[in-house]
Each structure stands twice: as C-alpha cells, then as structure tokens.
Amino acid sequence: MAAPAYDIVIRNALVATSTACFEGDVGVSGERIAAIGHGLAQGAREIDATGKVLTPGGIDAHAHIAQLSGGGLLNADTWESATVSAACGGTTSVVAFAAQHQGMDLAQVVADYSALAAEGSVIDYAFHLIVADPTEKTLKEHLPALIDAGHASIKAFMTYDKVRLRDEQLLDLMAVAREKGAMVCVHAENHGMIAWMAKRLVERGYVDPKYHSIAHPRVSETEAFERIVRMSALLDQPVTIFHVSTKEGAAIIRRARGEGLKIFAETCPQYLFFTKEILDRPGIEGAKWMFSPPAREPKDQEALWRALELGDFQTVSSDHAPYAFDETGKLMAGPNPDFRQIANGVPGLQFRMPLLFDAMVSKGRFGLSKFVAVTASGPARLYNLPNKGDIAPGLDADLVLWDPKRQVTLEDALVRDKTRYTPYAGMTVTGWPETVIRRGDVIVEGEALRAAPGSGRFMRRKAGSCAEPTGRLEAELDPARNFGATLL
C-alpha cells in the first residue's frame, strides 16, 4: 500500500481566504499547507469538513500576557492560561508586550519575558517592545539590537504616569524605529485632559465605574491622534494607532491615509459591541467593563464598522488585559475603590474570533473574506509575521474548522483564562471553532486541548513593507530643502 500523500487532508470544506471562498480540499504535510484542490490524494488523517468553514488561524496582535500594567499591577494570566484560552477560540498566533518600566533594562526585560513565553505558550508568539524609559542606552544599544533580533515593533504610551513618553521622547523613539526598520504602535490619548477630568470628578464625589467613561473625553483621543499623525509626517515614520474608539478618531485616520501617510489602525470587540452604558451597573459591578479608552456611543460603533469596511483599520485585536474581579485584580484597592483605582482592561483572547464570526459572517455584515482579513491576514501583513495569516500552499498550516450553524451562549463557565469571567456573558453567537490546527498539529478538538505548554514558537520577524518610510520627508528634515542639515 502506498504511503499517504499528506499528513492531514481536510475534505469538502468551504475554504475562506482573504481574497476568495470556495469548496475544496486542503492537504497538510508537516507544518505547512501542501496543496489546495479537489479530490486530493489520501492523507494519514482525513477530516470530513462537509458543511463546515475552514479559515486561517486567528492572529491577535494586541494582548497583555503575564505583564506588569502601567499602574504597576501584574495581570492574571500566565503564558499557558492566556494562550490556552486563545487556542480554544481559534487564535493560533499572538503578539504580546515585553514591557519596560522606569529604571528597567530593556534587554533584560525581553530576555525574562522570552523565557516565560517559551516555557508556557501553546501557540506561536511575537512581542511588541514597550519603551517607557528611553535612556541613551535603551535607544542606542538595546533597542537596535532587539530589532535586529526579530522584535520589529515598538509600543509607546502617550498617557499613564508610569509609562508615558513626552513628545520629544516619542520623537527620539520614532527616529530609532525609522533608522532600524520597525513599526511604532501608540496608545494615543491626551494625558492632561484625562488627569484633569478624573481629578475634578473624584473631588465632586463622582467615583463609580461609570464615571471612567467621562474621565476620558472623546477629544482626548482625537487630540492625541492628530499629534501622533503629525509626528509621523514629520519623521516619515509609519505608525499603528491602537484601539480606536471614536467616530472622530476614525475620521482622522482616514484623512491621514488619504494624504498618503502610512497610518494604520486597529479597533477591538469591546468598541464594536459595547457602549458606555455598560458601565452603569449597581455598586462596583461596572468595574468588569472598565478599559481604556472606554466604550463610547452607538454612532461610534457604526463609524468603526465603516472604517473596517473601507480598510482604514487593518485588524480587530482583543487588547486582552486580564484582571480578576477580586482583590488580586480589579478590586486590589479594596471593595469600594474610586474609578481611578480600578485596573483597566478586559479579557478577550478567547472570544474575539467567535464574536467577529457571528457579527461579520453569520449576521452577514461583511462576509468570510473580510473576516479573514481583519482576524488573520491583516495583522500578518501589518506586522510581517512569517508564513502566517492565510490559506495558500507553503504557508504554515494554521487552520480553524468552524461549525457555522452551532449556537453558543457565552458564559463565565466557558472561560479558560484566569480572570474567570467574560464581559460578553449572555451574548449568543452563531458559528463556533471546533477544530484548531497550529503548524500541522491539531491542538484543539471539540472541547479537548491537545497542545503542551511550550509548544508554541517565537516568530522572529523584520518589520516588512508596512513599516517602510514613504520617502517623502517634511521640508525641515529634508537636506535638499533645509539648507543641508542632516537630522535623520
């Protein structure tokens, strides 16, 4: 008897790529997709996918895992618990944050974080480097070496006391990114506006979680967006703006892209599915839905969906920031904290993909190819993740087989991360990931996890085309127009 032609053949699936959907077979050999067609030869394992949908594994490019927050609190998840939850939701790759704080050695931060990920992750992973202490050693020694080592994206904060960068520091960071070839990602809110609003609210006794949404005025987002867009233009440095929450913010990104600037953006499920009213709950219960920037208004939700449709946003990420609803997390300041003392963030790695499948595919908002684009191929291209993000011969066999008709009501009992709750409890989704394959290995089958801790792999990467400057310098930085001054 002849040896099987493939290790796995998935037969008769509705195959969804970023550009097309078609019925067919997918053959997997080793870690890679080997063939796509009809009537493929026998596989050592055969999976009948009749009536099922096959998509690429999800890529969540914004997740906080085993990380010290900007407020100094270690979040709830280990690398194992976070990535198990991701895998169970159809995500096979994640980009998390190696976070420097004031006084920390960036190289040591990355070494320590790499060890944790290598020991615990069950899916493939990469890092964004959070720079909060841009000393000369950080900028001239550690950061260039780390970019060369395959960490090709950097995150900066424009708010939060312990991690925010001043404009001059942010420009210094962007200049290094431009020289070495790295994407700059930014949490963009006006720090002064938020601090001023929060102080006045608390002084007047407005301390409940719902006032968190008032402390982050929507103009704090738009002002910071305008500022980072102009910095990007000045240095000709591409920038990705994280977690866009407002209609006005989306409009700024659309205008900047229309000007030819390389401005990219993401939004998150919490902005697509919640409004600020979610915070208005009895007692301290609203703390479960506190994240920054906060949820906004119905008009903002529609604007964000429109920005996804138009391609102004390249991805929908979870911004997974897991804090348990107890004294280890959300209530670490006691049972009755004011909103300033409550950890910001919600868990989201596990249910990002099912929520978006339901909204985009089952409910017919966009369709399968757009779902693939925002959950897999978009982030793969934006962050240049090698061999990831689509279904094509030669790419990694990261695949998710969906039952498009299965209905599941999300509830806390389904949660696999260490927060032990989901902000999406009570929502019913149609479409559920039943088989998840990571680099040719079946890691989730039904309710069973089949991946060992540490079986995930680091994705070493260069920045890629999205992070390349346009070549159009502002006059003040162009030696041909600034009397010969070389500033970059």
How many residues are there in the chain?
488
b/e for 297-335, b at 16 or more Cβ within 10 A? Answer: beebbebbbebbeeebbbbbbbbbbbbbbeeebbbbeee
Give the tokens for residue 23: 């019925």
Measure CA 444 to chain center.
Answer: 21
pLDDT given at position 72: 77
Fold of 57-375: TIM Barrel (3.20.20)
pLDDT given at position 414: 97
| Dist CA 232 CA 175 (whole Å) | 10
pLDDT tens-digit map of 118-176: 999 999 999 999 999 999 999 999 999 999 999 999 999 999 999 999 999 999 999 99
Nearest to 346 by CA among 270, 438, 412, 407: 270
Where along the chain do its domains lie?
A: 57-375
Other Cβ atoms within 10 Å of 205 Cβ, number: 9
Q: What angle do CA 297, 303, 304 make, to 5 degrees?
A: 95
First to last CA, the chain: 65
Residue stretches of the chain with pLDDT short of 50: none
pLDDT given at position 1: 60
